[in-house]
Structure 1
């Protein structure tokens, strides 16, 4: 028996803003909202426990006390990398410098709160179309 990732939790200053951003990036919808202000987003029609993990945007208490060592990688599903880069920038992502050389095949970006993520080159099939 093994585990699988069911959800990722990201502490943030503005869960509404990040839920809107990541929903647009991933094609997710709101699946739950907690009294503490947390918003869970996930794939339409499945939500928690489905084939893809959900993302919980949880109100944080300020700046993290240590650097975040986990980041999200995304891959385009219906366009090439440059077209997807343009779409992500239009949604509010910004280029980020984490010490890359410029020779990488991926783009390092930051979401509206500065959380780094990477846009990979390889196009993948959407879940359910593999």
Structure 2
């Protein structure tokens, strides 16, 4: 099966600032304005200007960064704070090993404690943690051609056949969806055939939403979460 690339796109008030923050934290070069390319094992990140960008209420997804040692975890946290991030209280308990932070626009992310077996070998950007039940995870496994590496109760996770960043769904969200997600997936079609890719996603259970001014086709997965198939 041809490889498909996955990028997480964030609405932002200041895309360049967020790109510099995440580029500095992940050690990636920012290209094309506010884009941090991924590769066969690491998911890409993009930040786009949006007046509708807001951080009230729960987000559809957040990132998990890995650490090798306690000192490494502490260093990643210090680096995030130096770049403009902040600590975030989401009700985590003192005995929990992960540290919850927010980027300069309030997007939550976690620096995971060392020794986390689930993220072993996944690289620095270890996981994209999303809302969504099993139906959503199964859809994305088929859509991306990535195997399910976790499938228990309502929780699922997929990973590229090459390894690297996992994309996980922790179960159906507690709160109903309110408007378009502030973060969404951008998919570069395998072989460059956008129309065939859109038709394939629809056959798997996606619904059509709209075509953007840049020609990207916006769809929604079975959980109602928007994503785009780029040109």
Q: TM-score, normalised by structure 2?
A: 0.44
1:89-128 equivalences in 2 (<5 Å)? 89-122=81-114, 126=123
RMSD: 2.9
Closer, same or farther: CA 52–61 of 1 in aligned 2, 3 Å = same
Structure holding more helix per residue: 2
Runs of 4+ aligned structure 1 residues displaced above 4 Å come to 1-5, 123-127
Q: Aligned-pair distance for 1:66?
A: 5.9
Structure 2 runs not aligned, ≥5 long: 125-163, 165-231
Q: Which residue of 1 aligns with 2:18?
A: 18
CA distance in 1, matches of 2:23, 2:93: 30
Q: Aligned-pair distance for 1:97?
A: 0.6
Q: TM-score, normalised by structure 1?
A: 0.75
Structure 1 runs not aligned, ≥5 long: 34-38
The one-character-per-residue Cα deviations of 1:15-72 (angstroms, maximum 9, x if unpaired) are 0100000000111112324xxxxx2112xxxx5x543111010112222686312100
Q: Which residue of 1 aligns with 2:74?
A: 82
Matched length: 118
Q: Does 1:56 align with 2:46?
A: yes
Which structure has more relative contact order (CA 8 Å, sep 6+)? It is: 1
